[in-house]
Structure 1
Amino acid sequence: MTAYPVIRNLILSLTGTCNYACAYCYAACHPEERMPVDTALKATDMAGKNGQPFILQFTGGEPLLVFSVIQAVTEHVEAKGYPAIIQLQTNASLMTDGIAEYLKHHKIAVGVSLDGRPPVNDSLRKMKNGNSASEATIRGIRLLAAQKIPIGLTCVVTDANVKALPGIVQMAYYLGNVRQIGFDLLRCQGRGTALHPATPQDVAKAMEQCYALAQQLEKATGIHILFSQLEKIRKIVSGKACSFGQCYAMHGEEAYVTSDGKIYACSSLAGNPAFLLGNVWNGMDTERTKQAGLFIAEAMRACKECPHLSVCGGGCFTRWQGRNGKAEEECAMQQTFAKIYLSQGV
């Protein structure tokens, strides 16, 4: 078995264990054991051996529970000279001065999960020990800020927090080192099956409010914060990213590696045997990878036939899965940002 085609997005789920118990977590059923270093290095070599640039993201569970593996992989990438953009997605609660210094020195981009102002965030993101998730996360972000590390915020959107979303923009400016906000609409996998997606109308209104508030706060502070969805549209329209290019799984270019070394087409599809592509010891099965991509592409036919695709960039298969059609709230979000982009006169 060989990799098919070049891996552009390698995600290492270092552990399914987490010190949080978020209400919507789709990774709650992933293997809980910690990824051995040799498994992580084998996966990294699988992506790096082609010599092509790729994203390498550490995730979980909470990846800082396995910081020694992060160190081993990062230093392996540097020693091999792999052209990897290294990213960490974390709740930041386990951040220390030493970890922050390491992340800065090794130029690891940091994304932190936060879903709004503390009362809203704590209603969705809970610590297992009962303490405030917001307090622990903000403390971690402060340590990153002390090292002058810019971060991105990832905000999961459900019907429970959609009407309070401008709060995430307020938090971004309050924290001071946030440079990008990305909205991750609810995926109905794992614990997410117990929650409800926000309505398209509420999502559209919230996106408009968030953008307008960011514009106001930028004028007041001089700090410009990007929105991930809007930046994706800029890249698509400018030709720097192909339409639908954000779905690496559709093109067979994503390898999501669980802590036991199995490779799936996407993080939200881990554990689904239909999207099991192989393992780090034998590589990705060419035919299974191709068939998984074709299945996703066929399932997303509505996107390919949509007149807005050339600007919006398409939806996410894992949000549409099991929804009897398309995720209307995602279309609302994408089209709202497309309108914002077009209103800028570019």
Structure 2
Amino acid sequence: MVKMLILSLTGQCNFACKYCYAHEHPAESMTAATAIAAVELAAADGQAFVLQFSGGEPLLNFPVMQEVIRYVRENGLPAIMQLQTNASLMTKEKAAVLKAGQVGIGISLDGRPDSNDRQRCLPDGRGTCWQILNGAGQLAVQGIATGITTVVTNENVDKLSGIVEMAYYLGNIRRIGFDLLRAQGRGGEMAAPSSEAVWQGVKAAFQTAERLAKQTGKSMLFSPLERVAALANSQIQGFAHCHAMNGEAAFVDAQGSLYACASLAGNPDFYLGHVTTGLDTVKQRKVAALIQGGMSFCKTCPSFSLCGGACFARWHGANCGKQGYAAECALKQVAIEWYLEHQGQGRMGHESCVTACRC
């Protein structure tokens, strides 16, 4: 069973982000035949699955994306379609297609223009913020609400409140997610933020959102807080975010090769097969066991019930051994404490994963 299918529609990108984990992926573009074969593979058991269009920059291969959207809708497949994009190539025509196809959209933006442009830039070094904002504006014109994903590095960790201000400025942003720097690809050349800096930066973002919500009457959702709430209310279980751990994820590169995770694509240890031959169940079980064994330390942490566990790919890239990636632990812990304080439960009375888990 595949619950999460990620199609890398192309390895090409019109940006050259300093932390890109995928810049070494093949630059080819996926054909419609390969994409549809992957979709059929995921839909074979008739169960609902998430279908995410990724890259590179997936809008560079919009014709194939459009073909997949049409195929899913015409055949009534139970796919929950999502697009993660830098939005710079968005037009009103593309926005209309995505809206009609009921494709959820996430925009990658790293803060105010000065923060964003230091790390999310064009190949010639120029900034990208205004191109991203123009694309977001095209979505707003179509009445499309979106989310923002911010990559958190040592460069922007102390300016995360700025992304909240940008979200309110745009007007059609409903959710913000924080994606901590991964050591894969160019990310290995950048400095990771410290756990204390993450704690302070994320808390400042929450506080800014709280203030702006009071001023505007509009609340902003945060993915880390939503996860804590879902865990607290038993709506999800630990490691629900990691479909690869249960053999339920497939990342498909442009050539049709299947991997357990987008961040681990190209690594033979996480190769699962090809769309033409299907998923190798033996390899799936082997990879799942590897991930489960690697992350077993999370279950001994006193915060696990509300944290839900760390990201294997991030932990694997950081070579943390049998301890957590400190910055991620801080992100999870500040979300837990913010949630509990706003539920009237106060701060947690035990040692947090920030102090218990150190790289």
One-letter code of the match for 1:91?
N
Tell me what 1:254 maps to.
Answer: 249
Partners of 1:184 and 1:20 in 2: CA distance: 18
Among 328, 331, 339, the alignment partner of 2:329 is 331
Among 287, 291, 308, the alignment partner of 1:313 is 308
Cα deviation, residue 148, structure 1 = 0.8
Contact between 2:118 and 2:127, CA under 8 Å: does it hold in 1? no
Cα deviation, residue 248, structure 1 = 0.6
Query: Aligned with 2:309: secondary structure?
Result: coil
Partners of 1:117 and 1:92 in 2: CA distance: 16
Tell me what 1:226 maps to.
Answer: 221
Query: Aligned with 1:74: secondary structure?
Result: helix
Q: Provide the aligned length of Structure 1 versus Structure 2.
A: 341
One-letter code of the match for 1:339?
E
Partners of 1:236 and 1:99 in 2: CA distance: 36
The structure with higher relative contact order (CA 8 Å, sep 6+) is 1
One-letter code of the match for 1:299?
G
Query: Aligned with 2:179: secondary structure?
Result: strand
Cα deviation, residue 240, structure 1 = 1.7
Partners of 2:49 and 2:336 in 1: CA distance: 27
One-letter code of the match for 1:275?
F
Residues 158-198 of structure 1: per-residue CA shift (max 9 Å, x gap): 11110111110110001110000000000000000100110
One-letter code of the match for 1:15?
T
Query: Aligned with 1:291: secondary structure?
Result: helix
RMSD: 1.0
Tell me what 1:345 maps to.
Answer: 343
Partners of 1:68 and 1:241 in 2: CA distance: 36
Partners of 2:215 and 2:143 in 1: CA distance: 21
Partners of 1:288 and 1:130 in 2: CA distance: 41
Among 149, 154, 157, the alignment partner of 2:149 is 154
Tell me what 2:277 maps to.
Answer: 282
Tell me what 1:165 maps to.
Answer: 160
Query: Aligned with 1:303: secondary structure?
Result: helix
The correspondence of residues 1-346 of structure 1 with structure 2, limited to 5 A, is: 6-321=1-316, 322-324=319-321, 325-345=323-343
Cα deviation, residue 323, structure 1 = 2.9
Over 4 Å off, 4+ runs: none
Query: Aligned with 2:98: secondary structure?
Result: helix
Cα deviation, residue 129, structure 1 = 4.5
Partners of 1:23 and 1:251 in 2: CA distance: 32
After TM superposition, the score normalised by the length of structure 1 is 0.97
Contact between 2:245 and 2:291, CA under 8 Å: does it hold in 1? yes
One-letter code of the match for 1:138?
L
One-letter code of the match for 1:72?
E
One-letter code of the match for 1:152?
G
* Bigger shift: residues 125-134 or 115-124: 125-134
Cα deviation, residue 76, structure 1 = 0.8
Cα deviation, residue 31, structure 1 = 1.2
Give the fraction of aligned pairs with identical amino acids, expressed as a percent: 47
Contact between 2:7 and 2:252, CA under 8 Å: does it hold in 1? yes
Query: Aligned with 1:16: secondary structure?
Result: coil
Partners of 1:345 and 1:167 in 2: CA distance: 26
Query: Aligned with 1:31: secondary structure?
Result: coil
Cα deviation, residue 318, structure 1 = 1.0
Partners of 2:244 and 2:298 in 1: CA distance: 15
Partners of 1:254 and 1:26 in 2: CA distance: 19
Query: Aligned with 1:112: secondary structure?
Result: strand
Residues 5-51 of structure 1: per-residue CA shift (max 9 Å, x gap): x1000000001100000000000011110001000000000001111
One-letter code of the match for 1:345?
Q
Residues 233-264 of structure 1: per-residue CA shift (max 9 Å, x gap): 11122222111111111111100000000000
After TM superposition, the score normalised by the length of structure 2 is 0.93
* Bigger shift: residues 272-281 or 316-325: 316-325
Cα deviation, residue 131, structure 1 = 4.1
Structure 1 unmatched runs, 5+: 1-5
